Amino acid sequence: MPSLVVGTSGWAYTSWKPEFYPPEVSSKKFLNYYSSQLNGVEVNYTFRHLLSDKTQQAWIEQTPASFRFAIKAHQRITHFQRLRNADNFLQDFVNTLAPLASAKRLGPILFQLPPQLKCNLELLQGFIARLPKKLLCAFELRHESWFVEEVYEELRSANIALCWAESEDLATPQIATADFCYFRLRKPEYSQAQLASIRANIEAAINAGRDVFAFFKHEESPAGALRAREVLSKLARKKE
C-alpha cells in the first residue's frame, strides 16, 4: 500500500499557539507534539545550513518511527553553483544526512531551482548523473521553460519526482515522473473546495500506486498546519 506523508515546511513557531499547539506545550516539545498530529515535515533550515548529527538524533528521538523528514537542498548547490561543479559539496551535504538515513527517517531531497534558471537539459542530465542512486529526489522547477516532455523523460529515467508546486506566482504541471509524488502547497489561502481538490489529487496519486509527500506553507500563521492536519485526517478516515 502506498504511503502518505503530510505536513508543513517547519514546526518551530510559538505563534501556532493555541490553534495548533496547546498553550501548555513548551517550545522544546513542539516537534514531539507536531509529530503526534502530522507524519512528516519539510526542513528548510538545510537551504542555508548543514545539520549536525546531534540535531538529527534529537529529532529522531522526538518522533515516531513512521515520521519522515524531507530535506531542502543547500542553496550552494541550487542557487550559487546552479547545479554546476557541485559534486564535492553535494556529496558532503548528503553525507551529513546519514543519521536520518540510517534511522530510515529520511524523505526526499528537494532541489529547488532559482526562478530565473531556464531549461538546460544537458545541465540537468549531468547533475542527475552525479546524484546517489538510492536517494529519493524531487526537483522544483520554477521557470516555465522546464515544463517540456524532454525534461519529464529525464526525470522519469532517474525516478526523480517533478515537484508539484503551487503558489501565487506559479503552478507546476501535475506530471508524474517517479514512483512517488511531492506536493508543495504554498498559496496563502485555500478554500474548502480547493482543499477537496488537493485531497482528490493525492488520492489519485495513491490509487496509481505512488507514495505521496505533501507539505503546506508554514510561516507565522498556524493555517498551514491546520490545513495539513485536516487533509491527513480526512484521507486517513477514507482509508478506514
| CATH number for the domain that contains residue 188 | 3.20.20.410
Residue 103 grid coordinates = 534511522
pLDDT of residue 239: 66
What is the number of domains present in the chain?
1
Q: Given strand 4-8, what is the order of strands in its sheet?
A: 161-162, 137-140, 106-112, 68-72, 40-43, 4-8, 211-216, 180-185, 164-166
pLDDT bucket at 186, cuts 50 / 70 / 90: very high
Long-range contacts of 189-194 (CB under 8 A, 24+ apart): 189/223, 190/227
Q: Over the chain, what is the mean pLDDT?
A: 96
- Domain extent, residue 81, equals 4-239
Q: What is the pLDDT of residues 8-50, one digit of tens each?
A: 999 999 999 999 999 999 999 999 999 999 999 999 999 999 9
Quick check: 170 pLDDT over 90? no
What is the distance between the alpha carbons of residues 134 and 176, in angstroms, rounded to a whole number?
A: 19
